């Protein structure tokens, strides 16, 4: 049994900066807000630089910047900018895209974007963050740091109608798990949050009445704030990932182990989700 852990905050007198990607709105904004509340000097980043700056001003962050997470070199530029604010203490790869559709239905562009943003984006971010943490440790400025990644419950098992999306998230979770072991002796902690459906523009943008949206709505929708506190709450601990809610995580893991029997429940789960979607429209 894991006991209660103390709230992770930046020690007084030693400010650290934090980068949050895809933070102009939704889950990213909630994570950035949580980090500001815990004493980090946050650099809000987003593909939409103007929106990132507006969000930074609204939540009291240190600044905002445009950032394309598919660009490996840009990740190092963002880390350098954060270090101009204060030694880097945390990097959160939250930016993601969610395009629903069967494997055979997705366009080439959408399939490529899912992998490049959802999986490779966290890879480039983690490499830039680790390089910054190591350089700071060598210079004696600060040791270690936190890396967080917003993943998805779909990383834990098959999700018909979201197969490529789920695969990209499973890849991201695998990277997090491996990296956590690779850098732990350096005081660098790596975490992932795997939430069930979150009521954001990503979910609302799925095809109405489609298989993916119905399956997501069959679970319990969580709020961006719940995702933010769940992820940042792991900072300072050795915990690698958690699911929200926990029972859905157990169900998804069972589906991964026994996909044949568990996926026979898919029509019933889809029907539940479809009813919930209709009730929201009434």
Q: How far apart are CA 281 and CA 259, in angstroms?
A: 32
pLDDT for residue 272 is more than 70: no
Using DSSP, state whether 46 is helix, strand or coil.
Answer: strand
Q: How far apart are CA 210 and CA 115, in angstroms?
A: 22
Please tell me the predicted confidence (pLDDT) of residue 220. 67
Q: Indicate which residues carry an active-site annotation.
A: 165
CATH of domain 17-207+220-257: 3.40.50.720
Q: How far is CA 128 from CA 48, 121, 122, 187, 248, in A?
A: 21, 11, 10, 16, 33
3-state secondary structure 128-182: HHHHHHHHHHHHCCCCCEEEEEECCHHHHCCCCCCHHHHHHHHHHHHHHHHHHHH
Using DSSP, state whether 43 is helix, strand or coil.
Answer: strand
Number of H helices, E strands in the chain: 12, 7
Please tell me the predicted confidence (pLDDT) of residue 12. 57
Q: Tokens 């890396």, residue?
A: 147
- Write out pLDDT tens, residues 241-254: 999 977 665 666 66
Q: pLDDT band at 262, cuts 50/70/90?
A: very low
pLDDT for residue 101 is more than 80: yes
Please tell me the predicted confidence (pLDDT) of residue 237. 97
Please tell me the predicted confidence (pLDDT) of residue 281. 43
**Range 181-186 contact pairs with CB under 8 angstroms and sequence separation of 24 or more:** 183/130, 184/238, 186/133, 186/134, 186/137, 186/143, 186/144
Would you list the domain boundaries of the chain? 17-207+220-257
Q: pLDDT band at 14, cuts 50/70/90?
A: confident
Residue 254, both tokens: 């069972």
- Write out pLDDT tens, residues 172-229: 999 999 999 999 999 999 999 999 877 766 666 666 555 555 555 555 688 999 999 9
pLDDT for residue 7 is more than 70: no
Please tell me the predicted confidence (pLDDT) of residue 102. 87
Q: How far is CA 187 from CA 8, 90, 142, 251, in A?
A: 15, 12, 10, 33
Between these two residues, 266 and 80, which has the higher pLDDT value?
Answer: 80
């Amino acid at each position: 049994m894991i006991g209660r852990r103390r709230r992770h905050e930046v020690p007084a007198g030693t400010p650290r900066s934090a980068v949050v990607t895809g933070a102009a709105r939704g889950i990213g904004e909630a994570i950035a807000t949580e980090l500001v509340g815990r004493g980090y000097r946050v650099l809000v980043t987003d593909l939409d630089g103007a929106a990132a700056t507006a969000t930074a001003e609204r939540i009291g962050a240190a600044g905002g910047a445009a950032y394309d997470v598919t660009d490996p070199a840009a990740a190092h530029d963002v880390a350098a900018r954060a270090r101009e604010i204060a030694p880097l203490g945390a990097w959160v790869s939250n930016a993601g895209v969610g395009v629903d559709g069967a494997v055979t239905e997705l366009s080439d562009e959408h399939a490529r974007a899912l992998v490049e943003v959802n999986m490779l984006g966290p890879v480039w971010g983690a490499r830039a963050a680790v390089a910054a943490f190591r350089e700071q440790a060598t210079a004696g400025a600060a040791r270690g740091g936190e890396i967080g990644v917003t993943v998805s419950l779909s990383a834990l098992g098959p999700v018909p109608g979201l197969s490529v999306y789920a695969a990209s998230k499973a890849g991201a979770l695998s990277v997090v798990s491996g990296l956590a072991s690779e850098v732990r002796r350096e005081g660098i902690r790596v975490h992932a949050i795997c939430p069930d459906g979150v009521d954001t523009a990503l979910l609302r943008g799925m095809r109405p009445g489609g298989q993916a949206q119905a399956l997501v709505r069959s679970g319990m929708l969580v709020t961006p704030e719940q995702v933010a506190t769940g992820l940042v709450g792991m900072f300072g601990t050795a915990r690698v990932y958690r699911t929200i809610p926990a029972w859905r995580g157990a169900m998804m893991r069972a589906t991964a182990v026994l996909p044949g029997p568990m996926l026979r429940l898919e029509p019933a789960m889809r029907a539940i989700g479809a009813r919930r979607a209709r009730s929201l429209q009434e």
